[in-house]
């Protein structure tokens, strides 16, 4: 885990409950918003030149919960 996330993070910190909460938060925030934030940060960090930016969201799906 330390190699994937950061120093000091241990495998035992992760469990199904915490993963479920994290996935719920991602869903509430919106995956398109998160994806664009990550991409824009990478463009900034690596100083990539962009003339246009395009998000192909055709493979994204959102599940609707039945009441």
pLDDT tens for 27-61 read: 898 888 888 888 889 999 999 988 877 767 666 66
pTM for the whole thing?
0.51
Q: Name the token pair of 55.
A: 């998000």
Cα 30 to Cα 17: distance, rounded to the nearest angstrom: 20
CB neighbours of residue 1 within 10 Å: 13
pLDDT tens for 1-32 read: 778 788 898 888 888 998 899 889 988 988 88
Cα 57 to Cα 36: distance, rounded to the nearest angstrom: 11
């Amino acid at each position: 885990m330390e190699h994937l996330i950061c120093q000091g993070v241990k495998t035992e910190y992760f469990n199904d409950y915490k993963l479920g909460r994290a996935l719920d938060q991602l869903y509430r925030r919106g995956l398109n918003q998160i994806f664009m934030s990550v991409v824009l940060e990478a463009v900034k960090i690596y100083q990539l030149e962009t003339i246009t930016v395009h998000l192909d969201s055709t493979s994204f799906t959102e599940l609707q919960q039945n009441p």
